[in-house]
Structure 1
Amino acid sequence: MTQHEQRPEQAGAGIGAGPGTASGPGAVAAGGGLRVPDGFLEDLIALRRRLHAHPEVGLMLPRTQEMILEAIADLDLEIALGTETTSVVGVLRGGRPGPAVLLRGDMDGLPVVEATGLPYAADTGTMHACGHDLHMAGLVGAARLLAAHREELPGSVILMFQPGEEGYDGAGVMLREGVLEAAGERPIAAYGIHVSADAPSGQISTRAGTLMAAFSVLEVRVIGRGGHGSRPHEALDPIPAMAEMITALQTHVTRRTSVFDPVVVTVGEVHAGSAPNIIPGEAHFRAGVRTFSPRMATRMAAQLPELVTGIGRSHGLTVEATFRTVLPATINDDAEAGFFARTAQGIFGAERYVDLENPRTGSEDFSRVLAEVPGAYGFVGAAKDFDPEDMPASNHSPMAVFDDSVLADQALLLATLARDRLRAAAGEGDPAI
């Protein structure tokens, strides 16, 4: 796909426009080819609401794991449980031999006190404010659809239920646990979906190339010599130097980086001093750095520590600076992103698909999987009464409300991606892959 700009009203004119026969969330297109049984959506909604009422945070989610295991118990899967996490990996073997495809759903909630007032709201001081309850239920739904069509599958599907997406690098942990080898060979493709509380219900979107930003942290310790505020010439004051560093970071972004390969630097944490008349001996700050290409991330890792160290040296100060990449950019494979788009439009119609003009500035640890396996990540809108003039609460808000009528569509899209990718590998499907 060429990376052109496209307005939402042009959806379908970009990667892989194709026919469709359904509109609106929950309206499942017959052209998808996978039979959706009666009561399918209602069962997924019930599961999602049970999960929503009991969110857990981090890498260890025992109750969530138990609910997932119960939901997939009758699907004849090969199950492996995490050793460093409460992850669940299920391998669904198809009726014919072939390669493997991976589908992922994250499991963890956030330390947010829910304020939605929903009858199934959590009262635990934690909340599924990012929609991971829908991700789990949607992946369970995909597993059920694929199990019902097992004999059609020329290969295997790895179901990756992942804890610890919210700042714990759970995907990286699961890679160490061996999720990519769960089927006996590495998958040929990997797919994931994220719901959005501030996009119209049922709207599906992705883009080729960079979809989400990399996130890194610059940590700086400025070491001087403390003293009395009335005799600054006898001290080595770290505060003016730190202020100069913070300003210089923004100048560096605007004068040393291309607007076509952007960088966002946010200094969100500053610490120095204890009293107005005391010059402290040290000052500290931390900055978040978001980049959209591996090349720029590498440049910033070299240049920003060098910049602040040089400023400190000019003031006669010692500077300790570290640059740590927390998550790499989420980069969709061009061919797999096109396949994702064609699959979505083929099931739901071109009017339901949006080819994103720009990457999202948030970060996502599915980037770890996409760095190892070609694949694509995309979004499904879940704002039931979307009004662009009165935007609903977004993901991570204590007021975020997700329309769970999108669950059947989410499950059908994941299942169709897996089935059709295996078919393509067997020479039976999309020749563009």
Structure 2
Amino acid sequence: MPALPEILAFEDDLRAIRHDLHAHPEIGFEEVRTSSIVAEKLATWGVEVHRGLGKTGVVGVLEGARGPGRRIGLRADMDALPIVETTNLPFRSQNPGVFHGCGHDGHTTMLLGAARYLAEKRDFEGTAVFVFQPAEEGLGGARAMIADGLFEKFPVDEIYGLHNAPYLEPGQILAFAGPAMAAADFFDIFITGSGAHAAMPHASRDPIVAASALVQALQSIVARNVSPLDAGVLSVTQIHSGSAYNVIPEEATLTGTMRAFKPEVMDLMRTRMKAVCEGIAAAYAVTVDLRNRPTFEVLVNHEAEAAALADAAREIVDEEGVLTEPRPMMGSEDFADMLRKAPGAYAYVGHSGDLPLHNPGFVLDDAILPIGASLLARIVERRLAA
């Protein structure tokens, strides 16, 4: 079956919630409206609501009708991206420069759908804990919730999450054990030289020339230092410098990210990046200030829980639609921090979108909503079966 019949019965409600969230996206730690809607919906369905963990996070607690037992956590992210939306959807973003370009509006809606279904049935033994997390997009929302006592106040025996996947076919669910998403650092590099008139470059120490050389040199780290048998990525994603046609500026700034699955590869890349920056500084007579920020751990799915998630998926989609062969991705997810506190797993749910995540034209297929909600609901019912 494509989804649980009880969830299909309120599919229109899920679509309306998702469209509303999409039209009013909020950046990490600013999800005030979103978290209020989440809290209101949970309370309406009789779920115990707790607010303020990780600033704008929300936790819902639901006791099953079959008495006390184990505790299963479900997590969804709520934040949007600083991207200008180009979809022209009728419910497109009304907040300029902010866009749900990763589908977190859908993830939040799916978890709300699972919470509504479970609250209406309560046919399980134990407790379901619904974790609505802020600031997944590199701002450390999971760590903020954990620092605020998430797992001390709301302990769980297992925890599960999911992500939409436009690179899978509709009706496919991917769940496998082991490393699934890469560790990631974000970096900022500040280059300071000496400005001058653009007609007199000899009087300057040009930070733009140094920055250009540094971008090229950084690419040698993966190409010539990381073993071809190990995965590694280093991407410069921003270059900022200058304000006029005829002025060589004083400063240039580079930002970006590096990723790998092994700690030793991350350490190697950090060491080589520092050495390359020092070399460029010496070669171009500028100062180079490297600031590296470890942001994501490797997301590792636990074996038993990944198998349980795949089994639950088989009740939602056809057997042929459940994929369990490892398919690690260089993207990163701070659900990894939660999986270091409790065993669990993370799944990917395919849909008909034809543009990648973080693209300004990305469109989430609404048909995924009852499927994701059903998967989350079933993992609770299966793991808390009497």
Q: TM-score, normalised by structure 2?
A: 0.86
Q: Say yes or no: does 1:404 pair with 2:376.
A: no
Aligned with 1:324 (options 285, 293, 318): 293
Contact 2:124 2:384 in 1 (8 A): no
Q: Which residue in 2 is equivalent to 1:157?
A: 128
- AA at the equivalent of 2:255: R
Q: Which residue in 2 is equivalent to 1:394?
A: 356
Secondary structure of 2:68's match? strand
- What is the deviation of 1:344? 1.1
CA distance in 1, matches of 2:32, 2:362: 24
Q: Say yes or no: does 1:341 pair with 2:310.
A: yes
Q: Which residue in 1 is equivalent to 2:150?
A: 179
Taking structure 1 as reference, are residues 404 and 274 closer, same or farther at Cα in structure 2, changes over 3 Å only? closer
CA distance in 1, matches of 2:363, 2:237: 28
- What is the deviation of 1:105? 1.3
- What is the deviation of 1:226? 5.8
- What is the deviation of 1:378? 1.4
Matches within 5 A, 1:182-221: 182-183=153-154, 186-221=155-190
Contact 1:195 1:381 in 2 (8 A): yes
CA RMSD of aligned residues (A): 3.1
Q: Say yes or no: does 1:99 pair with 2:61.
A: no
- What is the deviation of 1:192? 0.7
CA distance in 2, matches of 1:111, 1:231: 36
Q: Say yes or no: does 1:88 pair with 2:58.
A: yes
The sequence identity of aligned pairs, in percent, is 38
Aligned with 2:114 (options 108, 118, 142): 142
Aligned with 2:338 (options 358, 363, 369): 369
Aligned with 2:12 (options 31, 39, 42): 42
Taking structure 1 as reference, are residues 85 and 258 closer, same or farther at Cα in structure 2, changes over 3 Å only? same
Q: Deviations over 1:148-206 (max 9, x none)?
A: 443522x22210112222343222222222222233xx322211111134543222113
Q: TM-score, normalised by structure 1?
A: 0.77
Task: Identify which range, 406-415 or 161-170, moves more after superposition.
Answer: 161-170
Q: Which residue in 2 is equivalent to 1:129?
A: 101
Contact 2:54 2:134 in 1 (8 A): no
User: Which blocks of at least 5 consecutive residues in structure 2 are unaligned?
Assistant: none
Contact 1:305 1:323 in 2 (8 A): no
- What is the deviation of 1:375? 1.5
CA distance in 2, matches of 1:113, 1:254: 33
Contact 1:294 1:328 in 2 (8 A): no
Aligned with 1:62 (options 14, 23, 32): 32
Secondary structure of 1:401's match? coil
Taking structure 1 as reference, are residues 406 and 83 closer, same or farther at Cα in structure 2, changes over 3 Å only? closer
Q: Say yes or no: does 1:110 pair with 2:81.
A: yes
Taking structure 1 as reference, are residues 114 and 242 closer, same or farther at Cα in structure 2, changes over 3 Å only? closer
Q: Which residue in 2 is equivalent to 1:19?
A: none
Q: Which residue in 2 is equivalent to 1:431?
A: none
Taking structure 1 as reference, are residues 202 and 223 closer, same or farther at Cα in structure 2, changes over 3 Å only? same
Contact 1:197 1:400 in 2 (8 A): no
CA distance in 2, matches of 1:211, 1:149: 33
User: Which blocks of at least 5 consecutive residues in structure 1 are unaligned?
Assistant: 1-21, 29-34, 387-391, 429-433
Secondary structure of 2:367's match? helix
Q: Which residue in 2 is equivalent to 1:300?
A: 269
Taking structure 1 as reference, are residues 254 and 180 closer, same or farther at Cα in structure 2, changes over 3 Å only? same
Between Structure 1 and Structure 2, whose CA radius of gyration is higher? 1
Q: Deviations over 1:46-76 (max 9, x none)?
A: 3323333333333122322232223222433
Taking structure 1 as reference, are residues 373 and 322 closer, same or farther at Cα in structure 2, changes over 3 Å only? same
Task: Identify which range, 271-280 or 356-365, moves more after superposition.
Answer: 271-280
Contact 1:110 1:127 in 2 (8 A): yes
CA distance in 2, matches of 1:73, 1:128: 25
- What is the deviation of 1:370? 1.8
Contact 2:183 2:261 in 1 (8 A): yes
CA distance in 1, matches of 2:360, 2:201: 49
CA distance in 1, matches of 2:246, 2:91: 54
Q: Deviations over 1:6-38 (max 9, x none)?
A: xxxxxxxxxxxxxxxx3xx44x4xxxxxx7267
